[in-house]
Amino acid sequence: MPEKMGEIYSINGPVVKAKKMTGFMMHEMVLVGDLKLTGEIIALDEDDATIQVYEETTGLKPTEPVHGTGDLLSVKLGPGLIGSVFDGIQRPLDVLKAQYGDFLKRGVVAEPIDMKKTWTVEMTPIKEGDTVTGGQVIATVKETASVVNKIMIPPNISGKVKNVKSSGKYNVDTVLLTVEGKDGDHDVKLYQSWPVRIPRPYKERLLPREPLVTGIRVIDTFFPISKGGTAAIPGGFGTGKTVVQHQLAKWSDADVIVYIGCGERGNEMTEVLEEFPQLIDPRNGRPLMERTILIANTSNMPVSAREASIYTGITIAEYFRDMGYNVALMADSTSRWAEALREISGRLEEMPAEEGFPPYLASRIGEFYERAGRVNALGENKRVGSVSVIGAVSPPGGDFSEPVTTGTKRFIRCFWELDRQLANARHHPSINWLDSYSEYNSELKEWFSKNIDPDFSKFRDRVMGILTEDDNLQQIIKLVGEDVLPDNQKLIVRVANIVKVGYLQQDAFSDVDSNCPLKKQHEMLKVILKYYDRAGVLVSKGVAVSEVLDDSIVNILMRMKENISMDKFDQFKEIEKKMDSFFDSLDNKYQTVKEA
């Protein structure tokens, strides 16, 4: 068969048109021009194709050729992914950089995973003649200290097994067994390829049941996300989106992290590339990169690579989900991805919708978030895995009515709204506790009740009640000042302040408080509510608010997040004791005064 070859006739930035393209398929990966730049067919009309090119197209000329690959734009999935840093189309940045220096040469090919490295492969007790189906685990490889890779039969393959290798040391290109399918033989290697724009299949979707514990109090306590859930972090420039995303990557209890950086500023991505390799996984003291994959859109990559990066990332996430892992994917920021869509759409001369975005913006956002979920994986040996997706949104001017924010809101179930005023007041994380929401609260109630405290959600609701009431009172205070409030309302305002400063504020850069485990969150809530209850009784008896607001007690409550580290939880008991003796003596004093 002669090689398929088209001919370029128009070049418009990353969008290239070619004729003589009969025989090519939609979404086929193609090699464009003499330099063989990587591209993808995004529209095909008989022999006329529109190609999105993932590399800089400067210098490309009409009449240069387009070569087919016969494959859809795909990623390679196998041992060696963990710890990698990829660009938007899974080219290994570190490898390219080592070979070609800081300025990536165009048209270079580098395998996404090391094809030569040998791995110790432990075969499952599978033997010649056995029947296998897609998703079945046939071997395991200890990929890093934190992750065991499970080698699976690719989703669409089933049949009888032959030529089974025994356990041993192999590279990823080794055929571990062959499956005799209806349509012929399939060699199963340590790696498989999967087209990025097609969600990987699973057996069934499961309901959310367990929180993805983040260590961020305002999230875990008030707006929790479940494993397999979706969340958006909208916020204007500098309100803390990136810091929250980094915190999630460091502290959330996911097994595998996929971090997609669509940086707004060039140096933001550099920070990720420099910072992440130095981070330590708090769970085992090993480098965090042993359970992390980074996808970085460097500034010298064209926008189309940014468009693809989201799909590359989520396909990798689904692959680890299929092994039975809880994967958390962060995308910072999806607005830059949407802008890439807009730019490409503009060059395609499509009819623009709101603010120049293409009319299919919302459905693209939806397709992305719908790939999150908790599932029963394909194949024998039951595995439950999840992909949680957390996308930052950076609306221009912090205006949440713009299309990317509103489009995202339709598909996500947690909305962690970053607040400019809070950020300016250095209240971090600046997640607004009145406008944010989580739709997982009711589904997760049982988990919190079983695993933390039967009353956890009651505590949470009471504290939220204090904050909501405080918000109403703040309106009055603004008009006429705090003095006019009756004492019980003054108390609410003061306790709300303790909650804001002592609970909601959490310094990402603090040694002790950067991560707050659920057990500590629970203890803190308990102590704050105990203070509120005891003080409330005294205030209702007529004791002045100024007296119950003793500095020494208030300071303890404000500082306990920093002063009590994870292994010293019995100190909460001491705080309670101190509080009791303070209120007991105040109570006695008041009784004596009254009797006298």
What residues make contact with ligand ADP under the rule CB under 6 A? 235, 237-243, 428-429, 506-509
- Closer to Mg ion by CB, 244 or 491: give it: 244
DSSP type of residue 413:
S
Instruction: Encode 102-115: b = buried (16+ Cβ within 10 Å), e = exposed.
Output: eebebebebbbbbb
Query: What does 366 bind: Mg ion, ligand ADP, none (CB cut-off 5 to 8 Å by kind)?
Result: none
Cα distance between residue 398 and residue 580, in whole Å = 45
Q: What is the nearest approach in angstroms of Mg ion to the Cβ of residue 96?
A: 25
- Closer to Mg ion by CB, 221 or 242: give it: 242
- Closer to Mg ion by CB, 237 or 569: give it: 237
Alpha helices in 376-440 (DSSP H): 403-409, 420-424
Compute the radius of gyration of the chain from its Cα atoms: 28
Cα distance between residue 382 and residue 230, in whole Å = 24
Q: What is the nearest approach in angstroms of Mg ion to the Cβ of residue 235?
A: 9
Report CA-CA distances (Å) from 11 to 52, 53, 235. Answer: 10, 10, 36
Task: Determine which helix (DSSP H) or strand (DSSP E) holds 581, and give its type and residue range.
Answer: helix 571-595
- Closer to Mg ion by CB, 238 or 517: give it: 238
- Closer to ligand ADP by CB, 134 or 238: give it: 238
Q: What is the nearest approach in angstroms of ligand ADP to the Cβ of residue 309?
A: 17
- Closer to Mg ion by CB, 241 or 428: give it: 241
- Closer to ligand ADP by CB, 108 or 243: give it: 243
Query: Concatenated DSSP letters for 464-497?
Result: HHHHHHHHHHHHHHHHH-GGGS-HHHHHHHHHHH
Cα–Cα nearest to 188, from 172, 168, 205, 206: 172
Cα distance between residue 260 and residue 278, in whole Å = 18
Encoded tokens for 448: 């919190």
Query: What does 508 bind: Mg ion, ligand ADP, none (CB cut-off 5 to 8 Å by kind)?
Result: ligand ADP
Answer for the pair 438, 448: CB distance below 8 angstroms, yes or no.
no
Instruction: Encode 518-527: b = buried (16+ Cβ within 10 Å), e = exposed.
Output: bebbbbbbbb
**Strand ordering across the sheet containing 168-171:** 148-152, 137-142, 118-123, 168-171
Q: What is the nearest approach in angstroms of Mg ion to the Cβ of residue 471?
A: 28
Task: Determine which helix (DSSP H) or strand (DSSP E) holds 314, and give its type and residue range.
Answer: helix 303-322
Whether cis (ω within 30° of 0) applies to the bond prior to 454 is: no
Q: What is the nearest approach in angstroms of Mg ion to the Cβ of residue 241?
A: 5
Q: What is the nearest approach in angstroms of Mg ion to the Cβ of residue 264?
A: 6
Query: What does 103 bind: Mg ion, ligand ADP, none (CB cut-off 5 to 8 Å by kind)?
Result: none
Query: What does 507 bind: Mg ion, ligand ADP, none (CB cut-off 5 to 8 Å by kind)?
Result: ligand ADP
- Closer to ligand ADP by CB, 200 or 427: give it: 427
What residue is closest to Mg ion based on CB?
242
Query: What does 576 bind: Mg ion, ligand ADP, none (CB cut-off 5 to 8 Å by kind)?
Result: none
Query: What does 235 bind: Mg ion, ligand ADP, none (CB cut-off 5 to 8 Å by kind)?
Result: ligand ADP
Query: What does 238 bind: ligand ADP, Mg ion, none (CB cut-off 5 to 8 Å by kind)?
Result: ligand ADP
Tokens 């004093």, residue located: 589
Query: What does 42 bind: Mg ion, ligand ADP, none (CB cut-off 5 to 8 Å by kind)?
Result: none
Q: What is the nearest approach in angstroms of Mg ion to the Cβ of residue 523?
A: 32
Binding site for Mg ion (CB under 5 A): 241-242
Q: What is the nearest approach in angstroms of Mg ion to the Cβ of residue 223?
A: 20
